[in-house]
Amino acid sequence: MSLVYLGTSAFAAAVLRTLAGSADRPSLVVTPPDRRQGRGRRIASPPAADAARELGIELHQARSVNDPEGYAPILDSEAELAVVCAFGQLIAEPLLTGLELLNVHPSLLPRWRGAAPIERAIMAGDERTGTAIMRLTEGLDSGPVALTAEIEIGPREDFGSLEPRLAALSAELLLEALELRRHGGLVFEPQAEGGVSYAEKIERSERRLDPVLAATELNLRTRALNPHVGTHLELEGGGRLGVRAATPWTGPAPPTGELAELDGRLVLGCGEGALELLRVRPVGGREMAGADLLRGRGLPRLSRCPH
């Protein structure tokens, strides 16, 4: 079938690569434009745009697919179907009614509708998550669902390990959905009215680990936001200590808001319990084990932030 693919993130790029190797290879890939990213503010393409170029698929980069210059190439392609996957733009008319739209959403809908379903599932301490193939409608991830698949979230799993597993699962489920559709067997059911939750976009403030919070909460946040976003502690003098991996500490806890060396480990005292900092990145340095930081730089001092 003639198919257009709308996606942006690394998750979308992974699903695209699988789709491109199938009988339903897209004829057009749509992503947002390149933009400046990172500390160096270098211009970079969305991962899905890079994948489209590597795969030799026609690419259209649209600031908004709701503007004429954005949606015209999609409608002009005369595709019979569009697949939307981690695209990051809300889609309105004329695409909503001008084209059949399937959405790949990495959560067990109606739980975690919205922008950051993988991160929010980890931050909430969910033991399971999954992916869904749904029909895109005007509401935020509220359309009817055709297929779902579940996976377990490991007790120490972070975003970096969960995202590719969900992308692989999503790609398999999408191919199944497209095959069912080809033979008229793709059936949609309305989402349950109960159990709705929203995966709000990650705010910059959530990257800061506030020691007054419980160690279990800070551990979940660290797992959810690494390695792609990152978390940090604020240091005395205005610097930041990046925290890339952590785990709850079961021994005696340092005072809240203080770092201590315990049994050669770097441990943070929290409002409830303590957190061992397994992997850190000091200001101007490379990522290293917390124990190596202690040996090479000594014990950092945290800022005394008002709460």
Tell whether 169 and 209 lie within a shared domain.
Answer: no
69 and 109 inside one domain? yes
Q: Which band of pLDDT confidence, cut at 50, 70 and 90, is reported for residue 293?
A: very high
User: Are 53 and 108 in a shared domain?
Assistant: yes
**Collapsing DSSP states into helix, strand and coil, what is residue 62?**
coil
| Within-domain flag for 304 | no
Domain assignment present for 305: no
Same domain, 211 and 84: no
Beta bridge partners of 262: 265
CA distance 166 to 151: 8
Flag whether 95 is in a domain.
yes
Interval 125-137: pLDDT, tens: 999 999 999 999 9
pLDDT surpassing 80 at residue 307:
no
Share of the chain above pLDDT 70, in %: 98
- pLDDT tops 90 at residue 250: yes
Q: Is 178 in the same domain as 35?
A: yes
pLDDT of residue 294 exceeding 50, the answer is: yes
194 and 209 in a single domain? The answer is: no
Q: Read off the CATH number of the domain in which 265 is found.
A: 3.10.25.10
Domain stop point among 199, 220, 250: 199
| Dihedral sign from CA coordinates of 153, 159, 161, 164 | positive
Long-range CB contacts for residues 92-96, cutoff 8 Å, separation at least 24: 92/66, 92/138, 93/66, 95/65, 95/66, 95/71, 96/136, 96/137, 96/138
pLDDT at position 36 = 84
133, 167, 199 — which closes off a domain? 199
Has residue 188 been placed in a domain? yes
Look up the pTM and report it.
Answer: 0.94
**At 102, which CATH number?**
3.40.50.170
d(CA 185, CA 95): 24
What dihedral angle (degrees, nearest 10) is formed by the CA atoms of 265, 218, 46, 152? Answer: 100
Report the distance separating Cα 3 and Cα 25, nearest Å: 7
- Residue 41: predicted pLDDT: 75
Is residue 132 within a helix (H) or strand (E), and if so which, with residue range?
strand 128-135
Selection from 199, 197, 223 nearest residue 209 by Cα: 223
Q: What is the pLDDT of residue 175?
A: 98
Report the C-alpha gap between 131 and 165 in whole angstroms.
11
Residue owning tokens 């930041």: 240
Residue 307, domain member (yes or no): no
- One domain, residues 180 and 237: no
Provide the number of structural domains found in the chain.
2
Give a yes or no: residue 306 inside a domain: no
Q: Is 115 inside a domain boundary?
A: yes
Q: Are residues 160 and 222 in the same domain?
A: no
Q: How many CB atoms lie within 10 A of CB 58?
A: 13
Do 225 and 195 share a structural domain? no
Question: pLDDT tens for residues 227-240?
Answer: 999 999 999 988 99
68, pLDDT greater than 80: yes
Average pLDDT over residues 81-89: 96
- 46: confidence class by pLDDT, cuts 50, 70, 90: very high
Rounded Cα distance, 19 and 170, in Å: 10
pLDDT greater than 90 at residue 284: no
Which of 166, 199, 232 marks a domain boundary? 199
- Summarised one tens digit per residue, pLDDT across range 181-210 is 999 999 999 999 899 999 999 999 999 999
d(Cα 42, Cα 90) in Å, to the nearest integer? 26
The whole-number pLDDT of residue 37 equals 79
Q: What is the pLDDT of residue 306?
A: 43
Q: Is residue 284 part of a domain?
A: yes
| DSSP secondary structure letter of residue 206 | G
Q: Which domain holds residue 104?
A: 3-199
Same structural domain for residues 121 and 231?
Answer: no
How high is the mean pLDDT of the chain? 95
Specify whether 118 is located in the same domain as 231.
no
What pLDDT is recorded for position 304?
Answer: 74
Q: Which pLDDT score, from 0 to 100, does residue 39 have?
A: 67
Report the C-alpha gap between 4 and 73 in whole angstroms: 10
- Between CA 81 and CA 146 the distance in angstroms is 15
* Tokens 């809908």 -> residue: 109
Distance separating alpha carbons of residues 89 and 47, to the nearest angstrom: 15
Residue at 101: amino acid letter: L
In whole angstroms, give the CA distance from residue 124 to residue 102.
27
Which whole number is the average pLDDT over 91-107?
A: 95
Query: Do 275 and 127 reside in the same domain of the chain?
Result: no
